[in-house]
Amino acid sequence: MTLPGMFSETVRNFGQRPALAFAGQTPVTFKELEEQIYTVISQLESIGIRHGDKVAILAASSPNWAVCYYAITFMGAVAVPILPDFHETEIENIIIHSETKALFYSSGLKAKIKPSLEKIVPNRFLVDDITAVSAAKDATAESDEIKIRKDYDVKENDLAAIIYTSGTTGKSKGVMLSHLNICFTALKGSKIIPIYDTDRFLSVLPLSHSYENTVGLVLPMINGACVYYLGGLPTPSILLPALQDVKPTFMLTVPMIIEKIYRNKIRPAFTEKRVMRIIYSAPPFRKVLNRIAGKKLMATFGGELRFFGIGGAKLSSTIEKFLIEAKFPYAIGYGLTETSPLLAGCSPSNTRLQSTGPALEDVTLKIHDPDPVTGEGEIWARGANVMLGYYKEPDLTSEMITPDGWLQTGDLGIFDKDGYLFIQGRKKNTILGSGGENIYPEEIESVINNFKHVAESLVIEQKGKLVALVHFNKEEIEEKYLHMKQEVTSYVEHRIEELKVELKEYINSKVNKFSRVQSVVNQPEPFKKTPTQKIKRFLYIS
């Protein structure tokens, strides 16, 4: 149950199978990948990296990112993946806090490395071709014969990675994950749906996030499957050709990706024209139309998709209903960076509306101190995937993990009779109503985000009243009313005021009386978000 141990088994079983590649390129085999990893280990050895030393990776996802990650962990050193979207000050803080001794970075992110870091981390490598940029010692590996000077004895409980989260509370914490944490999660994740050596994963999320790292890199590796990378941000011009080239069978995404597709492409086709809107409102016709749309969506994704995993945030129930009726092979998972990350999930054939599925095999989930009427309470988890703790933060660790090993997730949930978990929202975000009722802002936001021309929203409490901060899609409104040409800007502002009134009535017709909003406030600029596209709530709560 270590990364080098699992990889050795993969090379024995699938050595000649394709392992990693950019979309449109020929993959290296697992045997060839092993040679690349040993080359990098040799480079790290030559600059004096030892067991337990921290080595950071600051780069977009790529085959070479994976090579660096495996090389670091295989020799017993500790990988420190850094999200490319982090600010340069955050990057500097992470490197200093983690005591990083070497840094792999991509040329495109060089500007984020402050000059002061060049003295702090003299050993720097370019991920693009894994060459030494600056090293305190000779960092050249022998080209004819790769020599590993040590036979590294990596243990299950050895620290494999420190992943720094950029949460909605504003403070980054270094989550310490062991080899056992990561390998256990990948193995148990493989039980959700069979994975074959013929499967093709298309990676669209950052490898520096535990979701893509464990489920999108380690999990396919232990099953001999191949992973393809985009070589750029998942914009339509890059993503669409890659989908047709790779024809992925597996993809991992966040709700934002499928929500954009639904709101920009699918919903307008059924709601723009009055006749189509009437037809679509009738359930029998809606199901037929959604099934047709589902077939087109499958074709867009390459036509061979078996698993479209969605995680990281709550998926709108409206969009999930569409996916169900479209027979699109989606599945929702739940977890935290602190749990390596998966806690619950199911296959596309077993999904239930708004549920994240049952607990992962050999992981125990329970509702702590449940409400006697609703059964709702904080989700606690225990298993081999629970982190070792927060790096250099023993007090924070003890606040998160109880003496008997239960991790307090901070999420509120409920189980149905079959053990399927339903997430209600974050404990810290819950608003207490005047009558003592729990109000979950995420549920109200899900309603708001399905309203026409809404890009995103945030529900907060101000002076005892619920207020919806809403960012409307001005470009969408302008495009719709372009025929007016003259005075279009003033009309858009006028239309937003009208939409605020309509939206308030719409929200309050869809939620219970405790969750009704008192006012809708226009948020002119997009909300500030974490690198994983979660709104930083703390910035908007006074």
Place of tokens 């991790």: 407
Determine which helix (DSSP H) or strand (DSSP E) holds 50, and give its type and residue range: none
Token pair, residue 277, equals: 């809107």
Residue 359 DSSP code:
B
- Whole-angstrom distance, CA of residue 236 vs CA of residue 264: 12
Q: Which residues of the chain have pLDDT under 50?
A: 141-145, 168-169
Local structure of 479: helix, strand or coil: helix
Contact 238, 231 (CB under 8 A): yes
Calculate the alpha carbon distances from 242 to 8, 197, 198, 208, 445 in Å. Answer: 30, 20, 18, 21, 32
Residue 483 backbone phi and psi in degrees, to 5: -60, -20
Local structure of 247: helix, strand or coil: coil
Contact 356, 320 (CB under 8 A): no
Count of all residues that appear for the chain in the document: 542
- Whole-angstrom distance, CA of residue 337 vs CA of residue 321: 28
Report pLDDT for 489: 65
**CATH code linked to domain 3-18+27-181:** 3.40.50.12780
Calculate the alpha carbon distances from 532 to 155, 207, 251, 444 in Å. Answer: 31, 11, 16, 21
Token pair, residue 264, equals: 């920009």
- Whole-angstrom distance, CA of residue 102 vs CA of residue 105: 10
CA 412 to chain centre: 20
Q: What is the 3-state secondary structure (H, E, C) of 111-169?
A: HHCCHHHHHHCCCEEECCCCEEEECCCCCCCCCCCCCCCCCCCCCCCCEEEEEEECCCC
Domain ranges of the chain: 3-18+27-181, 250-303+305-428, 430-539
Token pair, residue 315, equals: 């998926």
Report pLDDT for 470: 93
Report pLDDT for 414: 97
- Domain 250-303+305-428 CATH (choose: 3.30.70.100, 3.30.930.10, 3.40.50.12780, 3.40.50.920): 3.40.50.12780
Residue type, 199: D
Q: 430-539: what fold? A: GMP Synthetase; Chain A, domain 3 (3.30.300)
Beta bridge mates, 379: 367
Report pLDDT for 132: 65
Report pLDDT for 1: 94
Instruction: Go through 85-113 and write b for each residue having 16 or more CB atoms within 10 A of its CB, e for each that does not.
Output: ebeeebbbebbebbebbbbbbbeebeebb
Contact 234, 204 (CB under 8 A): yes
Report pLDDT for 529: 81
The reply to whether 430-539 shares the fold of 250-303+305-428 is no
Report pLDDT for 292: 95
